[in-house]
Amino acid sequence: MIKDIIQDRRSVFPAQYNDEAITKEEVLSILESANWAPTHKRTEPWRFKVFYGESQVKLAEFMAETYKETTEKFSEFTYEKFKNNPVKAGCVIAICYQRDPKESIPEWEEIAATAMAVQNMWLTASEMKIGSYWASPGVIKHFHHLVEMEAGESCIGLFYLGKYDDALPEGHRKSGIAEKTVWI
């Protein structure tokens, strides 16, 4: 049932991934789910750059070195995370969106539609027993130096995917929906 998949979805981080490969077919299935997200005026703004195999090494090198060159407060721990996490994953997908050139809808709606596409990916990956995690590192603002971006295209995060062995923790919320809802 979809409600169970929603409630069981968790962030699964690269440190939790095992060495089992994710197939291109699995990645394509996850991406296909993204394409069915709601989108105002059918702009379908989501765009994805898939780092799979050797390109994950290039991603890791780019992230680590860009971090080293651009940060004001260098941390060896963060540098090592950038250097290792992309290669620990079975696949990393850059989450981008393409701004409607006509600007027929507010930009936040394009971002929201892209976030819904990612939620579809996350739920599909969860159903497939593939762990995933959305990261938003500061270095993504430099992604145009790594991959070609179209005019009006922006990167808003990285979606890590990996297979895992351990049971995931039970979910919880700080408060129930009744505390966040006003009936009018």
Summarised one tens digit per residue, pLDDT across range 100-131 is 888 999 999 999 999 999 999 999 999 999 99
Extract the tokens encoding 43.
């702009």
Separation CA 98–CA 40 (nearest Å) = 13
10-34 mean pLDDT: 97
Summarised one tens digit per residue, pLDDT across range 71-103 is 999 999 999 999 999 999 999 999 999 998 889
DSSP 8-state secondary structure symbol assigned to residue 22: P
Q: Does any domain span residue 128?
A: yes
Instruction: Please check if 11 is assigned to a binding site.
Output: yes
Domain count of the fold of the chain = 1
Contact 71, 86 (CB under 8 A): no
| CATH number, position 142 | 3.40.109.10
Q: Does any domain span residue 3?
A: no
Q: Does any domain span residue 7?
A: no
Q: Does any domain span residue 86?
A: yes
Domain residue limits at 122: 16-164
Q: Does any domain span residue 42?
A: yes
User: What share of the chain has pLDDT > 90, as a percent?
Assistant: 89
Q: Does any domain span residue 51?
A: yes
Extract the tokens encoding 174.
């700080």
DSSP 8-state secondary structure symbol assigned to residue 169: P
Q: Is the pTM of this model over 0.85?
A: yes
Summarised one tens digit per residue, pLDDT across range 126-179 is 999 999 999 999 999 999 999 999 999 999 999 999 999 988 888 889 999 999
Instruction: Please check if 9 is assigned to a binding site.
Output: yes
Instruction: Please check if 29 is assigned to a binding site.
Output: no
Q: What is the pLDDT of residue 1?
A: 86
Q: Does any domain span residue 149?
A: yes
Q: Where are the alpha helices (DSSP H) in the chain?
A: 2-8, 24-34, 54-70, 76-88, 107-127
Instruction: Please check if 136 is assigned to a binding site.
Output: yes
Instruction: Please check if 40 is assigned to a binding site.
Output: yes
Q: Does any domain span residue 120?
A: yes
Instruction: Please check if 135 is assigned to a binding site.
Output: yes
Instruction: Please check if 108 is assigned to a binding site.
Output: no
